[in-house]
Amino acid sequence: THFHPRHDIIEILKVVSPKLEAMDECSLPAAKALYQLVHNLTVNLGVQIHTFVWQFLALVVDYIRAMREDAVNNGSSSSTAGTQSPQIMTYMYGVAVDIMVHYPEQCVAVLSQDDFGKDMFGHARKCWSTARRELKEALVDYFSAHLLVSEVAGNIQGLLPGDLGVIGNASIDEERLGFLK
């Protein structure tokens, strides 16, 4: 028999998405469950989830945007999401990394649209100076994955091997490259 995870993934996303959107005490377990799902499918089981690349990255970006809006509306540390933010973001960037590393070609298009890549990269830059160990490690992995997607974009765009291609507002320019040094 063949394992067809599509239905199960859809059902899990239906449960996890509202819990992340709630930005309350359920957000941390939801983020961990999402990370475990993606990590186990891509790394441990080698299951192809390429049809879900956009959905998984959209969850990460939607959470980042909701956190940013919550911080503006309520102050950065006034909510449950604010106090759990480093742990949650460690899992959310872990989701992004697993997707970006396993499906870099698809991520070129996804990160180019709707400022997905710009929002993820910008939030990672903002978190960098105050991040503690686990989140800092997740951010290093994210920056590496972002560079991989940029390099794949360059390859797709016919640039020399190792050159960084354009991925919309998420492109690595001189300022962003300087930040990564």
pLDDT digits (tens, 9 = 90+) for 25-75: 999 999 999 999 999 999 999 899 999 999 999 999 999 999 888 888 876
CB neighbourhood size of 88 (10 A): 25
pLDDT digits (tens, 9 = 90+) for 164-173: 999 988 898 7
76 falls in which pLDDT band (50, 70, 90)? low
Please report which residue ranges of the chain form alpha helices under DSSP H.
Answer: 6-22, 27-39, 53-74, 80-102, 104-112, 116-128, 133-156, 174-180
- In the chain, the percentage of residues whose pLDDT exceeds 70 is 92
Q: Over the chain, what is the mean pLDDT?
A: 90
**Average pLDDT rounded to a whole number, residues 104-113:** 96
The CA-based dihedral angle spanning residues 110, 151, 179, 38, taken in that order and rounded to the nearest 10 degrees? 50
Distance between CA atoms of residues 70 and 125, nearest Å: 19
Residue 23 in contact with residue 67, Cβ under 8 Å?
yes
Nearest to 123, CA basis, from 154, 155, 85: 85
CA 51 to chain centre: 16
41: amino acid identity, one letter: L
Task: Supply the pLDDT for residue 75.
Answer: 67
Task: Supply the pLDDT for residue 36.
Answer: 97
Tell me which of 156 and 173 has the higher pLDDT: 156
Least reliable range by pLDDT among 2-6, 89-93, 177-181? 177-181
